[in-house]
Homo-oligomer: A and B are copies of this chain.
Amino acid sequence: MILKKVEKEPRAAAYPAPAALVSAYGKRGKPNAMTAAWISNICADPVTLVVGIRDTRYTYELIVKNGCFGVNIPNVKIAKEADYFGIVSGRDVDKFKETGLTVFKGTEVKVPLIKECPINIECKLTKQVKIGTHDAFFGEVLKVYYDESIINENGSPDILLADVLAYGTGNYYSLKSIIGGYGYSRKSEQFSHLFEEIQSDD
């Protein structure tokens, strides 16, 4: 049964998203970061992600100045800290001092990365596109760090093991369980017959 659809005016609706902490060095080498849910991987080669940042933000200014930024994926344990990083400005406070989160330095570009986040990404700014209130910053991924504890028995990182936060429709959520792996429909009874004759594309 298809339920009734409610029509709404335009709004952000492509969720869930990461509650990522986008980090950059500020004045006198002081690390800063802001929470950004409007972020996504965008290209396979060169590996690139994109993040939307409002031009009034301190982090906006720092990324433009530095030409690089870090992306850090927080877990449920530091959810309050992640929220705090999104509602105050690094112009007014030292968010790291206030929350107790700590940083390590990137090796590829000059970015602060957040130790307590199970996933860290070093990015070089490669393109900046003005959209409206927000610019889209494209960052080429130069290196990725995972906490050893989030690597599964196959040697792959797992965001469920990492207990990452998901953001959407005004809330932070935790993940429950794996529904299936990419391509799992191919092996399912319901769909396997569909794969007998066709060639998949990339």
Q: Which residues of A are in contact with B by a Cβ distance under 8 Å? A: 2-18, 20, 37-50, 52, 54, 56-58, 71, 73, 76, 79-81, 83-84, 86-89, 91-93, 98-99, 102, 104, 115-116, 119-121, 127, 129, 131-134, 136, 138, 140-149, 151, 156-160, 164-186, 188, 190-191, 194-195, 198-202
Contact = CB atoms under 8 A, between A and B. Distances in A.
B180 A171 contact: yes
Among A3, A37, A43, the most chain B Cβ lie within 10 Å of the Cβ of A43
A175 to B, nearest CB: 5
A173 B84 CA distance: 26
A108 to B, nearest CB: 9
Each complex incorporates copies of this chain amounting to: 2
25 contacts: A2-B116, A5-B115, A6-B146, A8-B143, A10-B144, A13-B41, A14-B40, A15-B18, A38-B41, A38-B43, A43-B131, A45-B132, A50-B50, A56-B202, A79-B179, A80-B190, A84-B191, A84-B194, A87-B186, A88-B200, A88-B201, A158-B169, A171-B180, A173-B176, A176-B177
A173 B170 contact: no
The 7 closest A-B pairs by CB, nearest first: A40-B40, A176-B176, A42-B52, A12-B41, A10-B47, A89-B201, A43-B131
A115 B5 CA distance: 9
A116 B2 CA distance: 6
Given A164-B16, A199-B92, A10 B46 contact: yes
Nearest to A136: B42
A171 B166 contact: no
Contacts of A91: 201
